[in-house]
Structure 1
Amino acid sequence: MAVRGKGSEVRGMVMAALMAAVTGALAYVAVPLPFTQVPISGQNLGVMLSGLLLGPWWGGLSMVLYVLLVALGVPIGARGHAGLGVLLGPTGGYLIGFIIGAFVIGWFVRGRLTIFRALVGSVVGGALVAYIPGAAWLAHVGHLTAGQAITLGVLPFIPGDLVKAVIAAVAAVGVDRAYSLAGVRGRAPW
């Protein structure tokens, strides 16, 4: 959903900041797994919603802001962790993947938003694309093989991320429809 029209820059900045905050709040929904340093968290849901609701540029920017805040020490990373150590630690690659993922999701759903497009975009951008730098960095930092990084940092998270993709798709399409029912032509302005 592209930000357009009068005041669109300010609206885009506000919405990007809001989605960074939502992602930070969802980061507190985190469950550590005993066999890996990567927790299950709600952050991917925030990434998916950012891309779906804000489009590629503002969605990506919202995740840049989120990662920057985590790096600066604002305790909005998974389980409240923050600081440069988070970026340099085993989960740092996933944070970079969030930026790319939100952009990819927003790019994928340009045009008419449907449940199918939102779902596929969320799975591709919010999960698969985010996994690539995440698993690569996990392998580097943890001195793991690619197979070990995928086993520890990707496979356990696929079922939950599929559920998050469904939630994000339904929510985004609902917001888009509500905006249409309000009598405004076109997509939501954010």
Structure 2
Amino acid sequence: MNLSTKEMILTSLFTALTAIGAFLSIPIGDVPITLQSMFVILSGLLLGPKLGALSQIVYVLLGLSGVRIFAGFSGGPQTIFKPSFGFLIGFIFAGYIVGRIAHNKKSINFRQILLATIIGTFVIYLFGVPYMYLILNNILDTPISFSMALKTGFIIFLPGDILKAILSSLVALKIYSRINAAHL
């Protein structure tokens, strides 16, 4: 994949924003509340599917290489064994899927953006909750039912994530209108 300088800068920007979102966290249980998902969604909305996913791939690879950019100032290959790592995998797919949905037409409207953000949010959960369940039960030897995993990894976060999805959609719509007005 050949990237222009502009694309490299924008991809790096969303990698950095996702890292900053990890540091703005409220630790509750095994998975903290952060602003990461908002920046993941925005990466797909504003960069499109390939660059949105790439920004999240770079984020995850930096964290796995030892840079402490994950929530709780963690990083390194051992992070794979944390219950929250599945959500990080979901970030990559969410960045791509949100970008694919939002950029499949010539003009973008609020309904299309909001649909993309909600689907992207659920994609993160689709990877995160089962991974959390498997890690807790099979690696950390902390027996938990799948319904409890849904409650602690999904339900308690849903109101905040819906709010972040709406906020992401409004921000993206505002940025799209500015880009269109400037003919960029």
Give the TM-score normalised by structure 1. 0.87
Say which SS state the counterpart of residue 40 (structure 1) adopts.
Answer: coil
Residue 179 of structure 1 aligns with an amino acid whose one-letter code is I
The answer to whether structure 1 residue 142 and structure 2 residue 140 are counterparts is no
Unaligned stretches of 5+ residues in structure 2? 138-143
Counterparts in 2 of 1:41 and 1:54: CA distance versus 1, 3 Å: same
Partners of 1:88 and 1:46 lie apart in 2 by: 24
Q: What is residue 140 of structure 2 aligned with on the other side? A: none
Larger relative contact order (C-alpha < 8 A, sep ≥ 6)?
1
Partners of 1:177 and 1:108 lie apart in 2 by: 18
Q: What is residue 60 of structure 1 aligned with on the other side? A: 53
Aligned residue runs from structure 1 range 1-190, under 5 A: 9-33=4-28, 36-110=29-103, 111=105, 112-125=107-120, 127-143=121-137, 144-182=144-182, 184=183
Partners of 1:8 and 1:74 lie apart in 2 by: 24
- Structure 1 residue 8 displacement after superposition: 5.7
Residue 130 of structure 2 aligns with an amino acid whose one-letter code is A
Say which SS state the counterpart of residue 67 (structure 2) adopts.
Answer: coil
Moved more, 140-149 or 158-167: 140-149
Query: Does structure 2 retain, via aligned residues, the 8 Å contact 1:48–1:168?
Result: yes
Residue 162 of structure 1 aligns with an amino acid whose one-letter code is I
Counterparts in 2 of 1:113 and 1:148: CA distance versus 1, 3 Å: same
Say which SS state the counterpart of residue 156 (structure 2) adopts.
Answer: helix
- Structure 1 residue 46 displacement after superposition: 0.8
- Structure 1 residue 85 displacement after superposition: 2.1
Query: Does structure 2 retain, via aligned residues, the 8 Å contact 1:87–1:95?
Result: no
Q: Deviations over 1:152-176 (max 9, x none)?
A: 1111111111111111111111111
When the two chains are superposed, the root-mean-square deviation of aligned CA atoms in Å is 1.4
Q: Deviations over 1:21-63 (max 9, x none)?
A: 0110111111011xx2111111001101100001111100100
Q: What is residue 3 of structure 1 aligned with on the other side? A: none
Partners of 1:100 and 1:60 lie apart in 2 by: 7
After the TM superposition, list the runs of 4 or more consecutive aligned residues in structure 1 that deviate by more than 6 angstroms. Answer: none
Give the TM-score normalised by structure 2. 0.90
Partners of 1:27 and 1:40 lie apart in 2 by: 9
